[in-house]
Structure 1
Amino acid sequence: MREKNKIHLDGDIIFGGLFPMHEKGQGPNVKCGTIKKEKGIQRLEAMLFAIDRINADETILPGITIGLHILDTCSSDTFALEQCMDFIKAQLNTIDMNDYVCDDGRTALQAPIKPVAGVIGAASSTVSIMVANILRLFKVRF
Structure 2
Amino acid sequence: MPEACLYRLLCRSTSLLASRPWLRALWLLLVGSSPLSLGTQPQSSLKIEGDITLGGLFPVHSRGPAGVPCGEIKREKGIHRLEAMLYALDQINSDPDLLPNITLGARILDTCSRDTYALEQSLTFVQALIQKDNSGVRCSNGEPPIIPKPERVVGVIGASGSSVSIMVANVLRLFQEERLHQRNVQFICSYPY
Q: Structure 2, unaligned stretches of length 5 or more?
A: 1-24, 30-42, 180-193
Identity %: 49
Q: 1:88 — aligned with what?
A: 126
| TM-score, normalised relative to structure 1 | 0.91
Q: CA deviation at 1:5?
A: 0.4
Q: Which has the higher strand share?
A: 1
Q: 2:54 — aligned with what?
A: 15
Say whether 1:26 aligns with 2:70: no
Bigger radius of gyration among the two: 2
Q: CA deviation at 1:10?
A: 1.8
Q: CA deviation at 1:127?
A: 0.7
Q: 1:6 — aligned with what?
A: 45
Distance 2:130 2:174 in 1: 12
Distance 2:111 2:79 in 1: 12
Q: Which has the higher helix share?
A: 2
Q: CA deviation at 1:110?
A: 2.8
Q: Structure 1, unaligned stretches of length 5 or more?
A: none
The CA RMSD over aligned residues, in Å, is 1.7
Distance 1:19 1:124 in 2: 10
What secondary structure is seen at the aligned counterpart in 2 of 1:107?
Answer: coil
What secondary structure is seen at the aligned counterpart in 2 of 1:129?
Answer: helix
Q: Which amino acid in the other structure matches residue 85 of structure 2?
A: M
Distance 2:149 2:169 in 1: 24
| 1:10-54 deviations in Å (ceiling 9; x for gaps) | 211110000000011121x11111000110011111111110111
| TM-score, normalised relative to structure 2 | 0.68
> What are the within-5 Å matches in structure 2 for residues 1-142 of structure 1?
4-27=43-66, 29-96=67-134, 98-142=135-179
Distance 2:109 2:165 in 1: 14
Number of residue pairs aligned between Structure 1 and Structure 2: 140
| 1:71-98 deviations in Å (ceiling 9; x for gaps) | 00000111111111111100011232x3
